[in-house]
Amino acid sequence: MRLHGAELLEIHLPVVDPIVTAAGGEEVRIVLLVRADLGEAVGWGECVAFHLPYYSSEYIEAAAEVLRHHLVPRLAAAQEPLTPERIPALLAPVHGHRMAKAALECAVLDGWLRAEGRSLADWLGGTRAAVDCGVSIGFQESVEQLVATVGGYLDAGYRRIKLKVGPGWDLEPVAAVRAAFGDEVPLQVDANCAYDPRDAAHLGRLRALDRHGLQLIEQPFGSELLLDHAELAASVETPICLDESITSVATLETALAVGACTVVNVKLGRVGGVLAARAIHDRCEEAGIPVWCGGMLESGVGRAANVALASLPNFRLPGDISESRRYFAEDITTPFTMDDGQITVPTGPGIGVEPDPERLERLCVRRTPVEL
């Protein structure tokens, strides 16, 4: 199978409840889709980069440029027929740009599996028919509003609550949620690199979270500060989870070697694609480290890939996998819905969903064919 054509589509999706973190918030999710024409089938992938380079160095405009001028042409020029396993090697000469690579890999893999009549979850080795749903809740205007918001999501059936935290918005909101809903609610916090390991007050606040029986503290320090994460992990009872720090199996190996974490958040965009995500899952399983699937405000295209990934056996904690209406009043695919706190894993060919043509036409603000 060969790449006969590709197209980049920029979609604007208004967010119903923006998630505000230490790095800012998103009121309109700008989605970059990759459409890959493989002749026998068409595949779809989603680039999860944001429009500004605050979560990572990647952002939408840069991703579109590297896809147009470097990544897509490399696959189109391949002399041998494309297979999923060959894609990372073909793209490897382009340094970085993991989110752009992941989008293209997913689009080609989706098309390849559609032609094969096989689902992504089945091809990956998924073992679950449905995955548990967790919800991520950003900074709120008040603790009272936070408690009300958490209550609404628990009533809706979500099986895990994650609170965004930062210095000054951590101990009080966590204590309030615990007081309102009890210790039995699976609760974790995500700092998005907001704390400074050289600040004694920051360290004191992180250590004080031990009293609240959290599942984990996610990424308290900057992505490169593995030794600081290791020192914190040795001084607290709450498991430390890494997100931004883990970009490959190599960075995972370093984190494990120094004791920087005992849980890993896997985001297929952050690590460079489905194959890299599966490799990290497998290495963590071998090391006895549980993983869970992170989210990046994906549309239905990216959400479908996440759900398939989360069906693998070592995804032992509920991920940031919410139903579509959590973020969007209208999605570009058939919306994902939750039943008893779970979302069904798509069983159709490829990622199991595709954009609705009418919605795609209405919500697309820019459509760019890639010259091969």
Element (H, E) at 154: helix 143-156
- Look-up: residue for tokens 């996440």? 306
Lookup: tokens for 67 = 């896809």
29, 35, 114, 164: the catalytic one is 164
pLDDT surpasses 80 at 70: yes
Alpha-carbon Rg for the chain, nearest whole angstrom, is 20
Q: In whole angstroms, give the CA distance from residue 356 to residue 108.
A: 19
pLDDT surpasses 80 at 30: yes
Question: Is-catalytic flag, 267?
Answer: yes
Q: In whole angstroms, give the CA distance from residue 191 to residue 173.
A: 13
Q: In whole angstroms, give the CA distance from residue 75 to residue 80.
A: 10
Q: What is the CA angle 273-277-281, rounded to 5?
A: 175
267, 281, 303, 326: the catalytic one is 267
Round the average pLDDT of the chain to a whole number and report it. Answer: 96
Q: Which residues pair with 350 in a beta bridge?
A: 119
pLDDT tens per residue across span 219-266: 999 999 999 999 999 999 999 999 999 999 999 999 999 999 999 999
| Domain assignments of the chain as residue spans, ordered by start | 5-117+356-370, 122-344
Question: By percentage, how much of the chain surpasses pLDDT 70?
Answer: 98
Mean pLDDT of 49-60: 93
pLDDT value at residue 25: 64
Q: How far is it between the farthest Cα atoms of the chain?
A: 62
The four Cα atoms 276, 277, 282, 283 give a dihedral, to 10 degrees, of 70
Lookup: tokens for 232 = 């914190």
Residue closest to 223 by CA, chosen among 269, 270, 268: 270
pLDDT tens per residue across span 75-93: 999 988 888 999 999 999 9
pTM value is 0.95
Q: Place 356 in a pLDDT band, splitting at 50, 70 and 90.
A: very high
Question: By percentage, how much of the chain surpasses pLDDT 90?
Answer: 93
Element (H, E) at 281: helix 274-287
| Fold type of domain 122-344 | TIM Barrel (3.20.20)
pLDDT surpasses 90 at 196: yes
Chain centre to alpha carbon of residue 87: 21
pLDDT tens per residue across span 111-155: 999 999 999 999 999 999 999 999 999 999 999 999 999 999 999
Q: Are 75 and 108 in contact (CB under 8 A)?
A: yes
What is the DSSP annotation of 168-192? TBSHHHHHHHHHHH-TTS-EEEE-T
Question: Quick check: helix, strand or coil at residue 32?
Answer: strand
Q: In whole angstroms, give the CA distance from residue 84 to residue 104.
A: 11
Q: Count H helices, E strands: the chain?
A: 14, 15
pLDDT tens per residue across span 180-193: 999 999 999 999 99
pLDDT surpasses 90 at 24: no
- Look-up: residue for tokens 């974790």? 188
Q: In whole angstroms, give the CA distance from residue 304 to residue 103.
A: 13
Q: Are 306 and 277 in contact (CB under 8 A)?
A: no
Question: Quick check: helix, strand or coil at residue 282?
Answer: helix
pLDDT tens per residue across span 153-175: 999 999 999 999 999 999 999 99
pLDDT tens per residue across span 296-349: 999 999 999 999 999 999 999 999 999 999 999 999 999 999 999 999 999 999
Question: Is-catalytic flag, 162?
Answer: no
pLDDT value at residue 79: 84
pLDDT value at residue 163: 98
pLDDT surpasses 80 at 21: no
pLDDT surpasses 90 at 26: no
Q: Given its phi and psi angles, is residue 65 left (phi above 0), alpha (psi -120 to 50 degrees) or beta? A: alpha
Q: In whole angstroms, give the CA distance from residue 309 to residue 274.
A: 8
Residue closest to 310 by CA, chosen among 320, 298, 301, 300: 320
CATH class of 5-117+356-370: alpha beta
Q: Place 267 in a pLDDT band, splitting at 50, 70 and 90.
A: very high
Q: Place 17 in a pLDDT band, splitting at 50, 70 and 90.
A: confident
